[in-house]
Amino acid sequence: MVLIFQADMWDTAEPTLAGYDALVAQIGRLAAAFGKPVLLLEGDSHVFTVDNPYSAASPLHSLHAETPVAQNVTRIVVEGSDAGRTEYLRVTVNPRPKAVPFAWERVPSASTARRWDPHAGRRASDRMVIRASSSARLLPPEPTASERSRGT
């Protein structure tokens, strides 16, 4: 499960975080009941962060009233701050059972670096790539060289 938000619901510089209390609680309850990995992608503050604000050990856990514990949540805030680097986040979702469900890579926007593919050798139809920056876009995955040569 991947949820994408513009808002950084745990941005401590934001004075109106209480407006997210009900949403944060509902996401946490549903994620805990779901029991499988949940990935939250956020922007707004745009300072790259990977954490779990639903963990009881997180310093962010108490920012919202009645935040449940949901150990199966990973939150990523995508880079985009004025002081940050220009990049996008390449997220790979693997729908196969018993597989690592998510992989991500920070990719500089002007990069000519070779594409990293954690699922090399798999068909393009077996994965979905989500690129998140200041505006998230769903894009079809780029076929690997072997897929292009086979025409799959």
pLDDT given at position 28: 97
With 0.85 as the threshold, say if the pTM is over it. no
Q: Which residue has the tokens 């990973």?
A: 74
The neighbour count for residue 35, using CB atoms within 10 Å, is 10
pLDDT given at position 80: 78
Per-residue tens of pLDDT for the chain, all 152 residues = 899 999 999 999 998 999 999 999 999 999 999 999 999 999 888 888 999 999 999 999 999 999 999 999 999 999 876 666 678 889 998 888 787 898 999 888 764 344 545 445 444 444 444 444 434 444 445 566 665 666 65
Beta strands in 1-152 (DSSP E): 2-5, 38-42, 49-51, 73-77, 87-93, 102-108, 128-132, 137-139
Token pair belonging to 132: 């998140």
pLDDT given at position 147: 59
Q: Using only the alpha carbons of the chain, give its radius of gyration.
A: 17
